[in-house]
A = this chain, B = another copy of it.
Amino acid sequence: MANTLLIHCPDAPGLVYKITGVLFKHGLNILRNGEFVERHDNHFFMRTEFAGTFEAEALQQELRAVLPPTAVLRLSDNRPKRIVLLATREYHCLGELLVRHAFGELNAEILAVVSNHEVLGTLTQQFGIPFHHLPHTDRTREAHEAEVLAVLAGYQPDFVVLAKYMRILSSDFVAAYPNRLINIHHSFLPAFVGASPYAQAYERGVKIIGATAHFVNEQLDQGPIIAQSVIPIDHTRSAQDMAQAGRDVEKIVLARSLQLVFNEHVFVHRNKTIIFD
């Protein structure tokens, strides 16, 4: 199994040379390497897949010695991420992830599914995954979020995936999982932020619709975009037709974004993603 090293820091002369030098001296074999310098703010990003045996602590120390002091360094052994899925009523994204998971294709362990409705319980449990029905009715948003957070805390997930979870999260909720909450929005953001994007798309008469997977931050539908995809539509499609056609795009884009994140292809820098694919 390959290891992945991700480094980002202000750009400086010779970074590639110095970093690969440390790996070379450790006898580690680079399988794949990508670098990128964001010219806008002169920031350096490097992702390396390598093979070989090493002592993680020592390697990191030597790398830090050749890097600027503000460098952010992540060393991953690529074992499956621990995740919890949040869903509401729509089955398509949840079904997509459950099937992939059942056949070992997600590089993640689905620990549980949490939903504010009951309807997806059968599908979830059929795959042997715990299902938590936490209705949002008859309680405040704060109280409901506290219940959800309590269940999440019990699982200690690396990531929480909003698989068509149709509730807006508070800043406090978001702050509990910084850059660890991934959402699928059913439009080509930044077009059609907020509720009912397909109704908005119908109203505007667009000829293409899409979906956007993004990290969640405190501003609605404004977090760093991981993946987007679109399909053409025409005047014959009602908002409901668009919603149906859009499902295929949504689930594939969400699955694709998880593959990128769980396999350590993604940096978040300011409000953007840098993705070495």
Binding site for B on A (CB under 8 A): 13-14, 16-17, 20-21, 23-24, 27, 29-40, 91-92, 95-96, 99, 102-103, 105, 123, 126-127, 188-192, 204-208, 210, 224-230, 232, 234-236, 238, 244, 248, 252, 255-256, 271-275, 277
Contact = CB atoms under 8 A, between A and B. Distances in A.
26 contacts: A13-B24, A13-B27, A13-B29, A16-B20, A17-B17, A20-B20, A21-B21, A31-B37, A39-B238, A91-B102, A91-B103, A92-B99, A95-B103, A96-B99, A99-B99, A126-B127, A189-B204, A190-B191, A190-B206, A191-B191, A205-B271, A206-B228, A207-B226, A232-B232, A248-B255, A252-B252
Contact of A205 (B204, B210, B272): B272
Contacts of A105: 244
A143 B170 CA distance: 52
A204 B225 CA distance: 8
In order of increasing CB-CB distance, the 6 nearest A-B pairs are A205-B272, A95-B99, A17-B20, A191-B191, A14-B24, A207-B228
Nearest to A205: B272
A225 B207 contact: yes
Given A13-B29, A191-B190, A208 B210 contact: yes
Contacts of A207: 225-228
A246 B224 CA distance: 22
A119 to B, nearest CB: 9
Nearest to A234: B275
Contacts of A127: 126
B235 A274 contact: yes
A224 B205 contact: yes
